[in-house]
Structure 1
Amino acid sequence: MTKSTTDEAAGSARLRGRRGLLLTVLAVLLAAVLAGHRAVPNLRGLGSLLDSVTPLLGLAVPVLAVAGLLRRSRLALLAVLLPATVWAVLYGRALLPPAGGSGPVTLRVASQNLRAGNPDPAATVDSLAAGGADLIALQEVDGDDRVAGALRERYPHHAAVTTVALWSRYPVREYAGVDTGLGWTRALRAVVATPDGDLVVYVAHLGSARAGHTATRDETVRELAAAVRADAAPRLVVLGDLNTATTDRVFAPLARLLRDAQADAGQGFGFTWPAGLPVTRPDHVLYRGLTPTSAGVVRTPASDHRAVVASFRW
């Protein structure tokens, strides 16, 4: 081997080493963000945004692994194991088969943000009814008669407050609006008389969250949590567009009070928004006093959100 060939080989090795070092640094940074995202200050909603997208950061792991293979860097490949392990510990359970309870299903629920200005709301709700839901919770309802026309025969019992509504196969004993601090009522509490006993149902559409503007959303989460905390009902579900992901630190007040049907009986993250290529889950089925048997997401026509569904047994 000539001296020039040797020099070229050495130079190539040094270049691979530097590239491997860059990939290693990126892998360590990714692991640090995954493990420590809650430590990032929630200034102008930055912390909430980071919390919400951390499950998606796992997509960077295979990218780094492929880059390490292409660079033939053992150091980089070893380093990639670090964020892969952190991500698996934090979110890997979502990819495991559903762990829902066994036994007969006694209640099926669905929740859908209809989308303001939905061109065909009847088609949207009809797809939910076709899934056999006993209760259908709706948000962004604008009083369109087509919704009632599609549901009233199969769901003879109905409760509505401003733009949120509940359609039920079973009698609604009572209902009332719930103040979540928006300045106008966009949540309701209903008592539904199911064949197995009374069930308290909250339907909520919490404040919107925008980059740099999450204060209203944050306050509505706290107010809804306060209402649930004060509610003595042994069996309770919360359905709706809460405009926050379960991974968001702001979700903590609700997480301390209620279980998440998707986490307990579904598979995957159950992302619902935007409908075409969902990257987060603002729509939820939360519960207490019941056993979930399944949970999932349904693609419905004409809405910008996918619907969330779950089944329970008493």
Structure 2
Amino acid sequence: MVDERAAGEPAGSRGRRGLVLVACAVLLALLLVGHRAVPNVNGLGSLVDSATPLLGLGVPLLALAALLRRSRRALLAVLLPAVVWAGLYGRAWLPPTAEADGAAVRVASQNLRAGNPDPAATAGALAGAAPDLIGLQEVADGERVASVLAERYPHRAAVSTVALWSRWPIREAHGVDTGLGWDRALRAVVAAPQGDLVVYVVHLGSARAGHTATRDETVAALAATVRADPADRLVVLGDLNTATTDRVFDPLTRLLGDAQAEAGQGFGFTWPAELPMTRPDHVLYRGLTPTTAGVVRTPDSDHRAVTAGFRW
């Protein structure tokens, strides 16, 4: 039982008991609400934005500390960040409202990992989920991948280290400039049974602590390309090296829906594969209705794969 009194403790100490924890709880709530007010100097703001969903872990830690400190006021104060976090992210854990049946097209995206010792095993595991389209990034050995995908996915488009494998014919494909100085993205027109579907497979610039400028520029370049694309139905598959909570992601959010947010459950973290703590891998869309979304653990990659299903 939480008790503000302790035998032999001075009255002044009892009055101050738990104040540090109260302050920590208030600061945590303020950070959750106002994380975008953190200046984005050397990528600091982006880092905080991306990590914000994980700040909810501070709630049980503060609650435990309040119990150990036997401070009622601290325990009550912990309710503040708990309510704020639930308001911001609790919806992600509710059962998806999208109808799971009737998907006309199923897609998957996987960063194979440069230096993957067995990319065929990774791609084969992903194909086991039976998507119609597979977008791959960091493809270093296309022939080994082809050895497990070609029979089920006879149509392929590849540019540099990104590739699209399709059950249906690919009518056209070309590289997309995202500002890296070389194409690490492609745009393809897939002749799906219901009509043409434009598919982008993308690997944007890398982001490191203190070094996000290249990533930020590639996000803006991709957003400009999608904005100018006249396609009615469009899907973006890829490793975008940023989370949807990152302020840098906003140009894409304004243009495209997020399959995981609409038809998935949970945050859908994908990296690092052993213990995912963020989601740089995405399935974005427009002109379609998402029915399912999820994450698949595959062997030998440092990323988990992302999947989604759509109705026309």
**Which range, TM-score by smaller chain?**
over 0.9
Residue 39 of structure 2 aligns with which residue? 41
SS of residue matched to 1:309: strand
Q: Is the 8 A contact 1:17 1:73 kept in 2?
A: no
Residue 49 of structure 2 aligns with which residue? 51
The 3 A distance-change label for structure 1 pair 139 and 69 is same
CA positional deviation for 1:102: 5.0
Q: Is the 8 A contact 2:6 2:14 kept in 1?
A: no
Q: Distance in 1 between matches of 2:110 and 2:69?
A: 47
CA positional deviation for 1:143: 2.9
Residue 7 of structure 2 aligns with which residue? 9
Report whether the alignment pairs 1:269 with 2:267.
yes
CA positional deviation for 1:144: 3.9
CA positional deviation for 1:68: 1.3
Q: Distance in 1 between matches of 2:17 and 2:157?
A: 61
CA positional deviation for 1:293: 0.7
One-letter identity of the residue aligned with 2:146: A
Residue 113 of structure 2 aligns with which residue? 115
Structure 1: runs of 5 or more not aligned: 1-6
Q: Distance in 1 between matches of 2:11 and 2:244?
A: 45
Q: Distance in 2 between matches of 1:13 and 1:97?
A: 49
Render the CA deviation track for 1:110-157: whole Å, top value 9, x for unaligned. 000000010011110111111110000000001342101110000000
SS of residue matched to 2:9: helix
Render the CA deviation track for 1:15-62: whole Å, top value 9, x for unaligned. 454341111000001001111100011000000000000000000101
Q: Distance in 1 between matches of 2:73 and 2:164?
A: 56
One-letter identity of the residue aligned with 2:224: A
One-letter identity of the residue aligned with 2:244: T
One-letter identity of the residue aligned with 1:157: H
TM-score under structure 2 normalisation?
0.96
Residue 24 of structure 1 aligns with which residue? 22
Residue 134 of structure 2 aligns with which residue? 136
Q: Distance in 2 between matches of 1:187 and 1:13?
A: 66
Render the CA deviation track for 1:72-103: whole Å, top value 9, x for unaligned. 21111111111011111111111111122354
Counterpart selection for 2:309 from 304, 307, 311: 311
Q: Distance in 2 between matches of 1:215 and 1:282?
A: 16
Q: Is the 8 A contact 1:16 1:71 kept in 2?
A: no
Report whether the alignment pairs 1:182 with 2:168.
no
Please list every run of at least 4 consecutive aligned residues from structure 1 whose deviation after the TM superposition is greater than 3 angstroms.
12-19
> What aligned pairs does 1:189-268 form with structure 2 within 5 A after superposition?
189-268=187-266
Counterpart selection for 1:68 from 66, 69, 73: 66
CA positional deviation for 1:69: 1.8
Structure 2: runs of 5 or more not aligned: none
One-letter identity of the residue aligned with 2:297: R
Residue 153 of structure 1 aligns with which residue? 151
CA positional deviation for 1:10: 4.5
Q: Distance in 2 between matches of 1:102 and 1:29?
A: 40
One-letter identity of the residue aligned with 1:243: N
CA positional deviation for 1:229: 0.2
The 3 A distance-change label for structure 1 pair 14 and 97 is farther
Report whether the alignment pairs 1:80 with 2:95.
no
Q: Is the 8 A contact 1:31 1:83 kept in 2?
A: yes
SS of residue matched to 2:28: helix
One-letter identity of the residue aligned with 2:113: R
Q: Is the 8 A contact 1:275 1:305 kept in 2?
A: yes
Alignment identity in percent? 76
Q: Is the 8 A contact 1:295 1:309 kept in 2?
A: yes
SS of residue matched to 2:115: coil
Over aligned residues, Cα RMSD in angstroms? Answer: 1.4
Q: Is the 8 A contact 1:165 1:203 kept in 2?
A: yes
Q: Distance in 1 between matches of 2:237 and 2:126?
A: 14
Q: Is the 8 A contact 2:42 2:209 kept in 1?
A: yes
The 3 A distance-change label for structure 1 pair 60 and 174 is same
Residue 289 of structure 1 aligns with which residue? 287
SS of residue matched to 2:96: coil
